[in-house]
Amino acid sequence: MIQTVRGVHDILPDAIPLWQFLEARALAIFGQYGFEEIRTPLFEKTELFARAVGATTDIVEKEMYTFSDRGGDSLSLRPEGTASVVRAFVQQSMHRQLPWKVWYRGPMFRYERPQKGRQRQFHQIGCELFGPEDPLADAELLAMVMRYLTDIGLQTSLVLEINSLGCPDCRPPYRDLLIAFLRQTASHLCDDCQNRMERNPLRVLDCKQERCRAAIATAPVMIDHLCPGCTHHFSRLKGHLEDLERPFRINPHMVRGLDYYNRTAFEVTSVGLGAQNAVAAGGRYDGLVAQMGGTPTPAIGFAMGMERLALLLDQGKNRPAPPDVYLAPLGEQAEQAGLKLAETLRAQGLAVTLNLGGGSLKSQMKRAGRSQARFALMIGEAELEKNVVILKEMALGQQQEIRHSEVPGFLVNTCRTISVGDGHR
C-alpha cells in the first residue's frame, strides 16, 4: 500500500468544515481592513528563497524541497509566502499603487522533523502590507491578527509578544556586541548555536535548548541598543497597542527565523499547543523589496499556521450538513426518472442524495435514515405509471403521494434554499 509522505497529511472531509470556516473568516475580516487575496505559485526559482529568506537561515540551509526541472533550473517548493508576494510586488511594479494590501492562503513545504503541530506540508494564511513605514500600520496589522484569532474563538488562550529587531543603522553594532558575548560563553552553547553563532548570532537568542537559554540569560538584547529612530518607532507601537487595549508582552529574545525582518517582530502563542505553540508570527521587512530589486518600499506582514489553529479549535468531529432529500428509486426505469428529478431539484438549490447501487426499499430507507435527510422520495414502477412519487417526512414518519410535477415546488417552499459552508459552529 502506498501511503502519504512522512509529515504530509490528507485533510479529510470531516475536518473540511473547520478549514472552510477559518478561510471564510479570513476573507471577511481581512476584507474589513482592505486586504485582497493573492495566489502565487507553489514553486519558484530556488534563488528567490535563498535571497529573500536568507542563505544562512535554517529554512534555506536544511528545510527546502529543492529539485532541478527537466531544463536544469533549480526550483524549490515554497517554504513560506512572503518571498513570492514580494516577487509579485516587484514584478508587477506595485509601488505605483501604494498601499498594497494582500493576503494569501495555501500549503507551504519544509523538511522538518514531524511532530504534533509541525508538518512537512502545512498551511498558512498570511497578510502583507506594502507602503507605510509608520507604526500606525504595525498597530493596525496586529489588531487585525488579534481580531481574527479572537473571532474564530481563541481569545482566552492567546499571548501577543513583540520585540524590535532594529535597523541597518543599529543592528550591526549590536550584532558585534552579541558575537563578543557569545564567544565568551561559547562552550556552554549547543552544537547548533556554536555553529550559527558567527553567521546568525541573533538566532542563538531564541534557541529552545535549556543550556543555551541559561547561557544567554545575561546577553545584551537589541531593544537596549536601538537607534533613536527605532526607539521612537517601537514606543509609538506600544502606545497604539495600549490605546487599543490589546495586551502584549515584550520578549527581547524573540528573533524570527527569517533574515528579512527589521524593527517590529511579533509572535502570537497559545497555551493549548505544547512545544509548537506559535500560531502566528511576523514582522516588518522594510529592506526586502529593495533587496529583491524593487523600488525601496517598507512593508510588514505575518503568517498563521492553520494546522495549529485547527488543533486548537477542533472540538470533536464535524458532522456534514445533511441533504434535504434522499431519493430512493426502485428499478431501472425509476432510477432514470430519479436521476432526472434529482437534477431538477438541485437546479432549484436543494441538496439531494440519489441512492446509488440499488437495493430493496427497506435498505434504501435505512440509508436515507443514516443520511439524516429531512425528506425521502420513493419512486417505484407503480408510481412511475401514475406519474407520482411518495414523499416521506423522515422525522414524522408520515408519507403522502404527490404528483411528480409538483415535487420541486413543494420541496423548495418547505426547505427554502440550502446554505453552503456553514457546517461549522
Grid-cell match 519558484, residue found: 44
Question: What contacts 101, CB < 8 A, 6 or more positions away?
Answer: 33, 34, 35, 36, 127, 128, 129, 130
Residue 146 beta carbon to ligand ATP: minimum distance, rounded to whole angstroms: 14
Give yes or no for a contact between 274 and 116, defined as CB atoms under 8 angstroms apart. Answer: yes
Give yes or no for a contact between 154 and 312, defined as CB atoms under 8 angstroms apart. Answer: yes
Strand partners, 280: 268, 304
Please identify, using beta-carbon distances, which residue of 49 and 174 lies nearer to ligand ATP.
49
Query: Which 283-312 positions form the footprint of ligand ATP (CB under 6 A)?
Result: 303, 305, 307-308
Provide φ and ψ at 236, rounded to 5°.
Answer: -70, -40
Residue 149 touching ligand ATP (CB under 6 A)? no
Residue 37 touching ligand ATP (CB under 6 A)? no
Residue 84 touching ligand ATP (CB under 6 A)? no
Give yes or no for a contact between 85 and 102, defined as CB atoms under 8 angstroms apart. Answer: yes
Which of 94, 102, 230, 279 is in the footprint of ligand ATP by CB under 6 A?
A: 279
Sketch the per residue contact string, 105 through 144, with ligand ATP: x for CB under 6 A, - otherwise. Answer: -----x-x----xxx--x-x--------------------
Question: Hey, what's the torsion of the CAs at 216, 218, 219, 222, to 10 degrees?
Answer: 120
Question: What contacts 102, CB < 8 A, 6 or more positions away?
Answer: 35, 36, 37, 38, 85, 127, 128
Selection from 113, 117, 109, 88 nearest residue 100 by Cα: 88
Please identify, using beta-carbon distances, which residue of 258 and 354 lies nearer to ligand ATP.
258
C-alpha cell read off for 355 = 441512492
Which of 56, 66, 209, 276 is in the footprint of ligand ATP by CB under 6 A?
A: 276
Please identify, using beta-carbon distances, which residue of 201 and 301 lies nearer to ligand ATP.
301
CA torsion through residues 345, 347, 353, 355, sign: positive
Residue 419 beta carbon to ligand ATP: minimum distance, rounded to whole angstroms: 30
User: Which amino acid, residue 222?
Assistant: M
Number of residues this chain uses to bind ligand ATP (CB under 6 A): 18
Please identify, using beta-carbon distances, which residue of 208 and 362 lies nearer to ligand ATP.
208
Residue 301 beta carbon to ligand ATP: minimum distance, rounded to whole angstroms: 10
Residue 253 touching ligand ATP (CB under 6 A)? no
Residue 86 touching ligand ATP (CB under 6 A)? no
Which of 144, 160, 222, 280 is in the footprint of ligand ATP by CB under 6 A?
A: 280
In the complex, which residue's CB is closest to ligand ATP? Answer: 305
Segment contacting ligand ATP by CB under 6 A, of 129-137, 179-187, 277-285, 379-387: 277-285
Three-state secondary structure call for residue 249? strand
Half-sphere exposure of 123 (CA within 13 A, CB side): 17
Give yes or no for a contact between 146 and 324, defined as CB atoms under 8 angstroms apart. Answer: no
C-alpha cell read off for 22 = 477559518
Please identify, using beta-carbon distances, which residue of 123 and 374 lies nearer to ligand ATP.
123
Segment contacting ligand ATP by CB under 6 A, of 90-98, 134-142, 275-283, 374-382: 275-283
C-alpha cell read off for 303 = 503568517
Please identify, using beta-carbon distances, which residue of 121 and 399 lies nearer to ligand ATP.
121
Residue 329 beta carbon to ligand ATP: minimum distance, rounded to whole angstroms: 46
- Name the site residues for ligand ATP (rule: CB under 6 A): 80, 110, 112, 117-119, 122, 124, 257, 276, 278-281, 303, 305, 307-308
